A and B are shown apart, each in its own frame.
Chain A
């Protein structure tokens, strides 16, 4: 248990489905992040939330929609995904600025069929 909990651990979805990934932390961190990890590629930062406000969106397609209702919860809503979106999606949290490092969740392994 890392302190950052992601559910589900595995998800298989069709291209026309709508699903959501959930991330929860009770570490008292005020920044939360979504990363995408594809095979043989660097970790890609997708979204950053600081004090519930989105501060970064790294040119992520609109079929990925983040939501941060409070500092402890972060969602990634998925709709009409493509097979190339299959990857490990990692959530992380940190104190503001992240200089003490990020705490990562175990990730959601997403397969789009």
Chain B
């Protein structure tokens, strides 16, 4: 069975702190893709990153970085020097075959 677990339901940090959002996935497929989406209060899910199962290179994009480790089936997301605009719900997702599996989301609040 495929599954995505985001154990952190809610996180609050003070502005400028670093924060890591955890994502653990389960799949028996060897080919799959992992995603992170951001859902601000406006509602739409905004695409942040996609990684395929054959590429374990970590990625950095500005204040965002992602750590993909197949050995632990994890795809964690770190925001460095958090800002109030980072407040949102963040979803980790797995796609394999034709199915998209979402985690339950982590609600991040950045306090000014």
Contacts and interface: CB of A to CB of B under 8 A. Distances in A.
Interface string B23-58: 000000000010101000011111100100000000
Classify the secondary structure of A's interface with B: loop
B14 to A, nearest CB: 25
Contact of B102 (A43, A101, A103): A43
A101 B37 CA distance: 10
Interface residues of B, number: 18
Nearest to A50: B98
B50 A104 contact: no
Contacts of A107: 43-44
A102 B47 CA distance: 8
B44 A99 contact: no
A43 B91 CA distance: 10
B102 A97 contact: no
A42 B102 contact: yes
Nearest to A96: B98
Given A42-B102, A42-B103, A42-B104, A101 B43 contact: no
A43 B102 CA distance: 7
A106 B50 contact: no
Interface of B: 33, 35, 37, 42-47, 50, 91, 95, 98, 100, 102-105
